[in-house]
């Protein structure tokens, strides 16, 4: 696929890559501010768990890699749908990771071509140097990040006074943070299942276990649980590389008193763990100020640094026609 002179884009199937190739792409992703969700091993696990045909778009200038983008395909009858991130399976970010000294995101976006029987659901990485002109026609979405520069006391003192008091209060009244091992992960999964049932979302337990098993030996994943009266009441899974530590999978019991402040203590421990592992940024994974105002206020009490990521669907008129015909046929059968 030729997008511009001297720029070419190739497709490579993830599950057919050699170990050397996987490591080459992972190094590129990490060195160019990619998230764990862009990495080969993570997408390999996702592909196997959700039965996708997973590829990377790999952009070259000459013989040098200048950009990579994971895509997962599902076949739906005579049409297929690709996702640059499997948002339907709790994978928040995707899109191009690229060397900004060699290529622009505008050039790479022009390479997102779809076939006449294909739809692509594209979602970008967290955009750290936002220029909305690069994403004309895209739908902006928001997240909150915390810069982890400085020592841990400096970071604590940068929090507002009310948040610091709530963190102290939680500890004083007996809320404790536990770091759960692989063998204890089921304790967190139980409260995650409670939360997902309450909000009408499925819980992908096999996926969580496989990702945890892969990354725990590299000290790049951690399940933190808030415990009160010897019972786990809240928690979350953090997944990380050197760029981002991301609050990935949440869990929470119902009917927790409002004055325990367990989530403030839990978020603080996210910062402590991330700082201990020399990570640049903590990402609180989404900001929905209208849809989830209470959670938005909690996140913004830790940081006011709001960043965007962008979404857009690509398809052709023929795809829409074929998809409509296929849906009519299915209804008539």
Decide yes or no: CATH 3.40.630.30 for domain 149-279.
Answer: yes
The model's pLDDT over 144-156, given as tens digits with 9 standing for 90+, comes to: 999 999 999 999 9
- Residue carrying structure tokens 């052709």: 316
Residue 328 has what pLDDT? 58
Q: What span, in angstroms and rounded, lies between the C-alpha atoms of 138 and 309?
A: 9
Looking at the DSSP bridge assignments, the partners of residue 143 are 307
Predicted pLDDT at 297: 96
Section 105-125 average pLDDT: 89
Mean pLDDT along residues 132-149: 94
Residue 303 contacts by C-beta under 8 Å, 6 or more apart in sequence?
Answer: 144, 145, 146, 147, 284
Find residue 11's DSSP bridge partners. 57
Q: Give, rounded to a whole angstrom, the gap between the first and last alpha carbons of the chain.
A: 39
- Assigned CATH class of 2-138+311-332: alpha beta
More confident residue, 165 or 78: 165
d(CA 154, CA 305): 17
In the predicted model, is pLDDT for residue 292 greater than 80? yes
Do the domains spanning 2-138+311-332 and 149-279 agree at the CATH topology level? yes
Domain boundaries, the chain: 2-138+311-332, 149-279
Per-residue pLDDT, 113: 82
φ and ψ at 145, to 5 degrees? -120, 160
What is the model's pLDDT at position 324?
58
How confident is residue 119, by pLDDT bands cut at 50, 70 and 90? confident
DSSP strand pairing (118-123 vs 79-83): parallel
91-95, 118-122, 153-157: which has the minimum mean pLDDT?
Answer: 118-122
Enumerate residues 6+ apart whose C-beta is below 8 A from 57: 9, 10, 11, 67, 68, 69, 71, 96, 111
Mean predicted lDDT score pLDDT of the chain = 92
Cα separation, 74 vs 16, whole angstroms: 18
Work out the average pLDDT over 285-297: 95
Task: Give the pLDDT band (50/70/90) at residue 114.
Answer: confident
Residue 115 has pLDDT above 90, yes or no: no
Task: Please give the residue that has the higher pLDDT: either 75 or 142.
Answer: 142
Of 22-26, 108-112, 310-314, the range with the highest mean pLDDT is 22-26
pLDDT of residue 109: 94
């Amino acid at each position: 696929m030729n997008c511009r002179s001297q720029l070419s884009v190739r497709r490579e199937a993830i599950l057919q890559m050699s170990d050397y190739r996987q490591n080459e792409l992972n190094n590129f992703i990490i060195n160019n501010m990619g998230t764990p969700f862009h990495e080969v091993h993570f997408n390999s696990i996702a592909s196997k768990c959700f039965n996708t045909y997973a590829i990377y778009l790999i952009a070259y200038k000459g013989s040098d890699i200048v950009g990579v983008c994971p895509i997962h395909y599902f076949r739906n009858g005579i049409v297929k749908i690709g996702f640059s991130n499997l948002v339907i399976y709790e994978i928040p970010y995707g899109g191009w990771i690229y060397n900004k000294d060699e290529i622009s995101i505008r050039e790479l976006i022009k390479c997102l071509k779809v076939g006449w029987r294909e739809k692509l659901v594209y979602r970008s990485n967290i955009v750290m140097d936002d220029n909305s002109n690069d994403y004309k026609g895209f739908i902006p979405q928001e997240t909150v990040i915390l810069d982890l520069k400085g020592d841990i006391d400096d970071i604590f003192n940068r929090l507002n006074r009310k948040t610091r008091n709530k963190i102290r209060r939680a500890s004083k009244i007996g809320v404790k943070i536990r770091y759960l091992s692989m063998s204890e992960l089921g304790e967190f999964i139980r409260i995650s299942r409670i939360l997902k049932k309450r909000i009408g979302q499925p819980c992908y337990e096999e996926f969580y276990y496989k990702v945890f098993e892969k990354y725990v030996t590299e000290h790049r994943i951690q399940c933190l649980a808030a415990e009160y009266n010897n019972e786990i009441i809240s928690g979350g899974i953090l997944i990380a590389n050197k760029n981002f530590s991301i609050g990935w999978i949440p869990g929470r019991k119902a009917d927790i008193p409002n004055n325990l402040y367990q989530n403030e203590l839990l978020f603080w421990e996210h910062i402590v763990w991330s700082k201990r592992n020399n990570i640049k940024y903590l990402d609180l994974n989404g900001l929905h100020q209208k849809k989830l105002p209470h959670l938005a206020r909690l996140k913004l009490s830790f940081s006011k640094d709001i960043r965007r990521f962008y979404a857009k669907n690509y398809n052709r008129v023929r795809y829409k026609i074929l998809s409509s015909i296929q849906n009519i046929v299915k209804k008539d059968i």
